[in-house]
Amino acid sequence: MARRRHLSRIAVMQVLFELERRPARDTQASLRRVLSELNEADEAFAQELLTGVLDHRDHLREVIQIHAPGWSMERMDPISRCVLTIGCYELLHRSDVPPAVVMDEAIDIAKEYGSAEGGKFVNGVLNAIAKGAH
């Protein structure tokens, strides 16, 4: 199950990344396409994540901004920004995943897909959010 959820988080990150580039994009079609490429992903979990992130997007961005002083959302690496949004959503709105797992997953994805420093940045911001949320 852990691998399936990891792939689901990657799928949602990819959809969010596409959405930043093309705001009018059909997110459901994008998710279906990405999930078909990552055939072991947990489709229901990916759908819940994407819907939750999109429903709470403005608030999530505010929380990230508060916990990333000196970094505007536009200044952040795009992959880190997408990964942070997913991680922030999970920390604040999903009690079924322990905070340590959320942070480990986000750090791994940021390292794999983002900039060289992305993992450290994501770790710092999500750690601050986790401490502030509890």
Closest listed residue to residue 53, CA positions, set 93, 17, 22: 93
> Which pLDDT score is estimated for 134?
47
What is the rounded CA–CA span in Å between residue 13 and residue 49?
A: 10
What is the rounded CA–CA span in Å between residue 91 and residue 84?
A: 10
Angle, helices 78-93/2-21, rounded to nearest 10 degrees: 130
Which residue ranges make up each domain of the chain? Answer: 2-133
What is the rounded CA–CA span in Å between residue 110 and residue 113?
A: 5
> Which CATH class, in words, describes the domain spanning 2-133?
mainly alpha
State yes or no: pLDDT of 92 exceeds 80. yes
CB of 12 closer than 8 Å to CB of 86 = yes
Rounded percentage of the chain residues whose pLDDT exceeds 70: 98
pLDDT band at 1 (very low <50, low <70, confident <90, very high): low
State yes or no: pLDDT of 116 exceeds 80. no
Q: List, in order, residues 6 or more apart from 52 with CB less than 8 Å away.
A: 89, 93, 94
Angular region, 77: left φ>0, alpha ψ -120 to 50, beta rest:
beta
List pLDDT tens digits, range 4-37.
999 999 999 999 999 999 887 799 999 999 999 9
List pLDDT tens digits, range 55-82.
999 999 999 999 998 898 999 999 999 9
pTM above 0.75, yes or no: yes
Joined tokens for residue 80: 């880190």
